[in-house]
Amino acid sequence: MQQIFRSDVALGLPLYREVKHKLMESLRDGEWKPGDIIPAEKRLCERFGVSVGTLRKAVDELTAENILIRHQGRGTFVASHSQDRYMFGFFHIYAQDGRKEYPKVEFISLTRDKADADGAARLGVKKGAKLFRIINRLSLGGRAVIIDDILLPEQFFPNMTEAQVRDRRTTLYQLYQDSFGIGVLRTEERLQACGASADIARMLGIPEGTPLLHIIRRALSFRDEVVELRHSYVITDGHEYYAGDDNQGHG
Amino acid sequence: MQQIFRSDVALGLPLYREVKHKLMESLRDGEWKPGDIIPAEKRLCERFGVSVGTLRKAVDELTAENILIRHQGRGTFVASHSQDRYMFGFFHIYAQDGRKEYPKVEFISLTRDKADADGAARLGVKKGAKLFRIINRLSLGGRAVIIDDILLPEQFFPNMTEAQVRDRRTTLYQLYQDSFGIGVLRTEERLQACGASADIARMLGIPEGTPLLHIIRRALSFRDEVVELRHSYVITDGHEYYAGDDNQGHG
DNA sequence: CAGTGGTCTAGACCACATT
DNA sequence: ATGTGGTCTAGACCACTGT
């Protein structure tokens, strides 16, 4: 029989949404951390007092959002940042022949900065708020093609040091996760074209004013806080940004 | 009881995938046309000899792909092209303040052309194959900001006339659907930056070489044929391309 | 082998839209 | 009142993984 009394969070929400919400709470509160296995479906059914079908529908949505990952026969795991996940879900630049390659990342600088009006609006902080600023140069096929200009609200990254950023052997999102407990759940990107500024032109070795693809990415946490604002400037005479379903590949 | 004998298409496929495949066949073969209502779930269960849960899982996937649309209490319908659907699923340009607006489309030309090497490769036709070429100028907020350069394999659009294209009061995808029976199911887009060519600069009233966002879109049919190749050139000093989940909006 | 997720069933009740 | 899709259940069996 279906249970009569629902949690007070329920406001006409389907039961599976309630369950999903409770799972998200457990994730947000750190009951299960990235890489952890979560309890078996049977266990979770008992815990929430729902049937398998309902539990599965909740987990279905979380896997579709790349928050959980199921492995038949092994269990269900909390998604964790890795190089592969970065390439799969966050890095959208391909060579024009369709190949995809992990970029060589060259650290240029870590500085302290303050939010200007635009950065503050995009980050959801006050103008003048303290930020870290990371600049990286990325190479593909042995050629420098991308400058990343990354802004991080200081509050989320206490005492971040240049050594941490320079000497890491992981993606930045792994660093955020492992060293600061910041889980980047999803990103949104806005794209424009711009001419290379003097600084960017110098770092990429191209003439000032060269048309570049300008990607403005916001990275969001579990709580929908903006934890990173990244401006990427891409030379696109040999590469392209692919916008399509993750599932349907780059054919 | 679960049926023992499966169709010969089944090669270890889950039953709901078989059902999905059969639904796709009926759509492809025109048993149900865009805008039509399809039989009720109960009917389809009988027809395919499966339970509701299985049927629903098949339909779930088709709705997630925007091929079918469910309306509680009314029925399930075949997705049909409309202005709203175009804005929702295919047009990704927003004003920088986040507003979205339907562009004013100004017809410039319809000509016959032949596929060059690049176009042939992208369209999946032979070099030199006959094409129609449409050029449109799009305005947002009263300002010309986009040039669309559209290539169509002649085979899919027999006897297309300038009047059809010029005088339509619908989106092009509605025209393809209503006048040629071509259903655009999905698109994929590649983005680059380029400098405005002399032609584009003249049509947009900007200096030659101005950095533009260059969107290369392929539109695919039910059969995964490329039915349209569209080059869009966008002025992005007041607008941007938004790449994010359709569901999560442009906040 | 035991435990996990993946699929499928048969039927119930609910919410919504139309007649 | 009827018919539609939306949710939920309780239990079965399959496929895969690790011991």
CATH number at residue B147: 3.40.1410.10
In a domain, B126, yes or no: yes
Dist CA A184 CA B69 (whole Å):
32
**Do A71 and A163 sit in the same domain of this protein?**
no
Interface probe for B, chosen from A187, A192, A218 (most Cβ of B below 10 Å), is: A192
Helices (H) and strands (E) in chain A, counts: 8, 11
Shared-domain flag, residues B59 and B111: no
- pLDDT higher than 90, residue B14: yes
CB-CB under 8 Å, A195 with B240: no
A103 lies in the same domain as A178: yes
For residue range B144-153, list pLDDT tens digits in order.
999 999 999 9
Q: Which of A52, A75, A59 is nearest to A27 (CA)?
A: A59
Q: What is the secondary structure of A112-149 as a DSSP string?
A: EEE--HHHHHHHTS-TT-EEEEEEEEEEETTEEEEEEE
Query: Does the nearest atom of strand D lie within 7 Å of B42's Cβ?
Result: yes
A188 in reach of chain B (CB within 8 A): yes
| Residue partners of B50: CB distance under 8 A and separation at least 6 | B3, B15, B16, B19
Same domain, A100 and A49: no
Domain range enclosing A227 = 83-241
Distance from CA of B211 to the nearest CA of A (A): 5
How large is the average pLDDT for residues B202-215? Answer: 98
Where are the alpha helices (H) located in chain B, listed in sequence order? 15-28, 41-48, 52-64, 83-89, 117-123, 162-166, 172-180, 198-204
Distance A203 CA to C11 C1' (A): 67
Residues B88 and B167 in one domain: yes
Task: Let me know if residue A224 belongs to a domain.
Answer: yes
Cβ under 8 Å to B: A residues 113-152:
none
Minimum distance, in Å, between the CA of residue B161 and any CA atom of chain A: 32
Is B8 part of a structural domain of the chain?
no
Share of chain B above pLDDT 70, in %: 93
* Strand C nucleotides within 7 Å of a protein CB: 3-12, 15-18
Q: Per residue of chain A (251 residues), give pLDDT as tens.
A: 333 344 444 467 999 999 999 999 999 999 999 999 999 999 999 999 999 999 999 999 999 999 999 999 999 999 999 999 999 999 999 999 989 999 999 999 999 999 999 999 999 999 999 999 999 999 999 999 999 999 999 999 999 999 999 999 999 999 999 999 999 999 999 999 999 999 999 999 999 999 999 999 999 999 999 999 999 999 999 999 999 765 454 54
Chain A residues whose beta carbon lies within 8 Å of the beta carbon of residue B94: 190
Q: What is the CATH number of the domain that holds A19?
A: 1.10.10.10
Q: How far is A194 from chain B (nearest CA, A)?
A: 5
Same domain, B134 and B224: yes
Residues 6+ apart with CB under 8 A from A187: A90, A217, A218, A219, A220
A238 touches chain B (CB under 8 A): no
* pLDDT at residue A6, as a whole number: 44
Distance of CA A236 to the CA centre of its chain: 23
Cα distance between residue A239 and residue B169, in whole Å: 37
Query: pLDDT tens across B24-72, in order?
Result: 999 999 999 999 999 999 999 999 999 999 999 999 999 999 999 999 9
pLDDT of residue B4: 36
**Residue B121, pLDDT above cutoff 70:** yes
Number of domains in chain A: 2
Shared-domain flag, residues B147 and B29: no
B191 close contact with A: CB closer than 8 A: yes
Residue B92 and residue B73 in one domain: no
Residue A218 is assigned to a structural domain of this protein:
yes
Q: At what angle do helices A52-64 and A41-48 cross, to 10 degrees?
A: 110
- pLDDT at res. B11: 60
Q: For position A246, what pLDDT does the model report?
A: 53
Residue B102 lies in a domain: yes
Q: Same domain, yes or no, for A145 and A56?
A: no
Compute the distance between CA of residue A162 and CA of residue A168 in angstroms, rounded to an integer.
10
Mean of per-residue pLDDT scores for chain B: 93
pLDDT at residue number B245: 64
Q: What is the pLDDT of residues A43-72, one digit of tens each?
A: 999 999 999 999 999 999 999 999 999 999
Half-sphere exposure of A46 (CA within 13 A, CB side): 4
Asked if B240 reaches chain A (Cβ–Cβ under 8 Å), the answer is: yes
Using CB atoms, pick whichever of B195, B211, B213 lies closest to residue A191.
B213
Q: Is residue A251 part of a domain?
A: no
Give me the pLDDT at residue B9, please: 44
| Overall average pLDDT of the B89-99 stretch | 95
pLDDT value of position B246? 52
Which letter does DSSP use for residue B34 in this model? T
B12 pLDDT band, cuts 50/70/90, is: confident
Query: A-contacting residues of B 78-117, CB under 8 Å?
Result: 92, 94
Kindly tell me the number of DSSP H helices and DSSP E strands found in chain B: 8, 11
Check residue B114 and report its DSSP letter. E
Residue B249 has pLDDT above 60, yes or no: no
Cβ-based contacts of A194 with chain B (< 8 Å): 193, 211, 236
Q: Is residue A189 domain-shared with residue A205, that is, in the same domain?
A: yes
User: Å from A42 (CA) to C6 (C1')?
Assistant: 14
Q: Residue B212 and residue A193: Cβ atoms within 8 Å? A: yes
Among A78, A96, A130, which residue terminates a domain? Answer: A78
B226 part of a folded domain: yes
Answer yes or no: do A177 and A55 share one domain: no
The H-or-E segment that residue A86 falls in is helix A83-89
Interatomic distance A20 CA / C13 C1' (Å)? 22
What is the nearest CA distance from A150 to chain B, expressed in angstroms? Answer: 19
Whole-number pLDDT of residue B115: 98
Closest CA to B186 of B225, B155, B154: B225
A76 touches strand D (CB under 7 A): no
User: Does residue A40 sit in the same domain as residue A160?
Assistant: no
Flag whether pLDDT at B251 surpasses 60. Answer: no
pLDDT the model gives residue B248: 52
Query: Residue B151: its pLDDT value, please?
Result: 98
Indicate if CB(A72) is under 7 A from strand D: yes
